[in-house]
A and B are shown apart, each in its own frame.
Chain A
Amino acid sequence: DGGITQSPKYLFRKEGQNVTLSCEQNLNHDAMYWYRQDPGQGLRLIYYSQIVNDFQKGDIAEGYSVSREKKESFPLTVTSAQKNPTAFYLCASSPTGSDGNTIYFGEGSWLTVV
C-alpha cells in the first residue's frame, strides 16, 4: 500500500541523548515535512524539503536536524540541544512543494524524555 511510514511509534530518550525518527514514503512525492504537535495544540513546522539533497528550516528548527539523501526518506534527529523534546512528531509529504498541495501524513511518533 502507498503511504508514509514513521518509526518508531513510541520512543523514550534520556536527557543528553540524540534520537532519530524515521520517515519513509513510497508515494514518489518530491516534498517532505516534519511537524511537532504538543498536547491540545496545532502543528508547528520543524523542517521541510522540496527536493532531494535540499531542505529548509521551519518555524521551530532549533535543536533538530534532518537529511534528505534519498527521495523516499527524511529522517529527523532530535538533538540534546532541544530542551523540551517531549511531543508528538508528524512526518508528511506532498507531490511537490508548491503552495496549496494536498499533504499526506504519517501516523506519528511519540517522543518522551525520561
Chain B
Amino acid sequence: DVQLVESGGGLVQPGGSLRLSCAASGFTFSTYGMNWVRQAPGKGLEWVSAISGSGGFTYYADSVKGRFTISRDNSDKTMYLQMNSLRAEDTAVYYCAKSETGYDFDYFDSWGQGILVTVSS
C-alpha cells in the first residue's frame, strides 16, 4: 500500500523559514511525479508545487514562486519543500500527493495525512 507521511510543520514567524518532508513507501518512488497541495483553514485546495520523477523538472504556483523550493531524494524516497519568506497567507495544511502516472502535471491518486504550517507572530 502507498504511504505518504509529512513532517516538519509548525509555528513560524512571518519572514521565517520551514522545511517540510514527505516520506514515501509502497511504490517505486523515482517513477512518479510528486506534489505539494495546501489548504488554508476553512478554504479549498491549492496546488503549490510539483517535481518530476527524476527531480529534473520543477514547477510552482505563482503564489510561492521564488520563495519555495521543491526537491526530492530518490535514494531516500523522500520529497521536500523548503519554504522561505513565509507570509500569513501561507498558513495552511500542506499535503504531499503522488501523481497518478509519470506525467509532470497529473491527478493525485495518493495523499498524505497533511501537516499544519502556521505563520504568525
**Do A and B belong to a common assembly?**
no
Chain B contacts to A: CB under 8 angstroms = none
